Amino acid sequence: MDTNTIKYSLRKYKLYVIFGPIFKSIEVIFELFTPFVIRYIIDEGISAGLENNYLRIIVPGIILVLMCLLSFGFTFVCQYLSSVCSQGFGTDLRNRIYKKIATLSSLDLEKIGKGNLLTLISNDTNRLQLGIANLIRLAIRAPLLVVGSLIMSIFISIEAFLILFIAVIIIAIPIILIFYFSSRQILKVQESIDKVSSLSNDDLAGARVIRAFNKEEYEINKFKKLSNQYYKDAKVNQTLNALVNPITYLVLNTAAIFVVYLGRDNIFANVPLSAGSLTALIQYLNQITTALIVTFNVVIVLTKAQSSRERVNDFFKIVPSIQDGSITNKDIEYDENELVKFENVSFKYSDSEKNVVNNLDFSIKKGEKIGIIGGTGAGKTTIIKLLERFFDVTSGKILFKGHDIKDFNIKTLREQISLVSQKTSIFNGTIKENVLMGKDDISDEEVVEALKEADAYSFVFKYEDNINHEIVESGKNLSGGQKQRITIARALIKKSDLLILDDSTSALDFLTDKKIRETIASKKDLTTIIISQRATSLKECNKILVMDKGHIVNIGTHEELLKNSPIYKEIYESQVNTHG
């Protein structure tokens, strides 16, 4: 992939980038000649008297109108090209960023941070969009207007040109200094807004927890501290930028006074300037003033865009920590006695010295029902993360159908595994659309069948629009148990070789949990891994792995573990005694 993302994304819009400034340059030429036409009207038409001079007013007036219309036309085309290019570029870039995110592992995403990713898609992309728009519309226009106005002033008065030229030089020095310090301050402002964005996302996601623990005031103060820091950084930046206009107007208005004085009594050549020439010079002076201010603002926009460009390109330079393998055939032959095999597997996070799981050795046959149980932090869910290749093992090997899972194309591997995670993920859309995430080329009848198997049919068909019932953001119009049953239906409809239920029935009552387990147990060829805190949910498994502190401490059937595993026996008896 081309890491120079901006250049890559602009390739399809190169004609817009080329022709936009060309049309804008033509518009500037008309704008530069306008004061000369007005000068002619004043000097040759109005000042000379109206008698027999109408043509000297009407004809240049018509020319002036035509120039304005043509200028408008060229400006309109430039604005159109700029809008299409910048908006198209922004859309393409967002799509590429989102596509890149999809290729990154869970570890990569954790390192980058949710707040930074959201900033890339929104704030940074918007800045680059604005930068492209300004580049096409104004980056050529403003400097060309300054230089053109200076050149045109030569034809009116060399002395006036010298005054304007000196004024531009005087303005340029403080503006360059302001730009230098402002560009450095922009980076601080960006860092501050990243922190505010990240905290906002965390607080919105954890709003219930914050309220449950009465931590609203603590989080408000925390946010206020970051917000105040952003205010301080932004204030410094805005203060620097605010100096530009006063300095520009002060110097150029002083220059205007000299020009007017020159027009009254030309102290250099003793040739007074005409009213038309003086008016033209004042117009050029106004053009220079506006152009200088616009130039500075464009430079600030482009500086911000450059900062965002570097962040975006750095993001695209990230090499995913999990790479695709070459196996794309999911129907490969294998020994059915070992659908899955863990060989001395250990794993630790890159920023940790301690393993999360240690020396895991076990195998799963096709059609087996495997249970995994253990206390919080025992490493149960880590097994699933490694099997799905959300993370890669630190040492050891995981085999799937006799091959190292690293040799599989990731898409091919995950097509063969259905996962229902402990945290339900429900998306905006209909119930049917959520189920179809498992497999999209199936009929409504198959959707209904999957909902029945997940014991979701009863509540889904209470809605008038049943499977077409709309689910709001994050499934807020569903209970926890209803969301879990929809996610189970989503996994069952996939009809994969391996089904993983990661504590996915925790929100269900015991009767519903039992019904779903019986349905899954009836699928003889379906290999299932069930992670659960309920020992009673694992009683019918072919074997159960008991985990403690990252180790498998016992493997056996329910009856064997009651005899040989103190940890399993303690869990089971505490739950049986609790629930009678």
CATH code assigned at 391: 3.40.50.300
Q: Domain for residue 329, yes or no? A: no
Name which of 472, 513, 34, 93 is nearest 276 in CA terms.
34
**Looking at the structure, do residues 459 and 397 belong to the same domain, yes or no?**
no
If asked whether residues 245 and 387 sit together in one domain, one would say no
Q: Could you tell me if residue 209 is inside a domain?
A: no
399 and 442 within one domain: no
pLDDT value of residue 495: 85
Residues 363 and 300 occupy one common structural domain: no
Q: Are 61 and 41 in contact (CB under 8 A)?
A: yes
* Residue 218: inside a domain: no
Q: Check residue 577 and give its pLDDT.
A: 67
Tell me: do 249 and 140 sit in the same domain: yes
Q: In terms of domains, do 437 and 460 share one? A: yes
Give the residue ranges of the chain where pLDDT is below 70.
Answer: 1-9, 47-54, 183, 262-272, 506-507, 577-580
CB 304 within 8 Å of CB 312 = no
CATH number at residue 130: 1.20.1560.10
Residue 538 · residue 544 · CB < 8 Å: yes
Is 84 within a domain?
A: yes
pLDDT value at residue 580: 47
Say if 21 falls within a structural domain.
yes
- Give residue 164's pLDDT: 79
Residue ending a domain, among 436, 461, 495, is: 495
Q: How far apart are CA 111 and CA 62, in angstroms?
A: 65
- Cα separation of 43 and 412, whole Å? 81
Question: What Cα–Cα distance (Å) separates residue 571 from each residue in 186, 532, 550?
Answer: 57, 11, 17
Report the alpha-carbon distance of residue 187 to residue 170 in Å, rounded.
Answer: 28
240 and 275 share a domain?
Answer: yes
For residues 247 and 159, membership in a common domain is answered with: yes
Residue 467 lies in a domain: yes
Say what the pLDDT of residue 319 is: 85
Same domain for 526 and 487: no
| Angle in degrees, CA 570, 575, 579, rounded to 5 | 155
Query: What are residue 105's phi and psi, to 5 degrees?
Result: -80, 170
Stated as kind and residue range, the H or E segment containing 414 is helix 410-415
State which of 316, 351, 371 marks the end of a domain: 316
> Is the domain of 432 the same as that of 462?
yes
CA distance 93 to 174: 36
Which one, of 27, 25, 31, lies nearest residue 283 by Cα? 31
Q: Do 179 and 289 touch, CB atoms closer than 8 A?
A: no
Kindly state whether residue 225 falls inside one of the protein's structural domains.
Answer: no
Are 514 and 488 part of one and the same domain?
no
Buried b (16+ CB within 10 A) or exposed e, 203-236: beeeeeebeeeeeeeebeeeeeebbebbeebbee
What is the model's pTM?
0.71
Task: State the total domains in the chain.
Answer: 3
Structural domain harbouring 372: 338-416+507-580
**Residue 314, both tokens:** 């750095």
Strand, coil or helix: 119: helix
| Residue 488 shares a structural domain with residue 343 | no
Q: Is residue 501 part of a domain?
A: no
Cα–Cα distances in angstroms (integers) from residue 418 to residues 86, 421, 493, in the given order: 41, 10, 9
* Cβ proximity of 56 and 41 under 8 Å: yes
Which among 266, 281, 316 is the end of a domain? Answer: 316
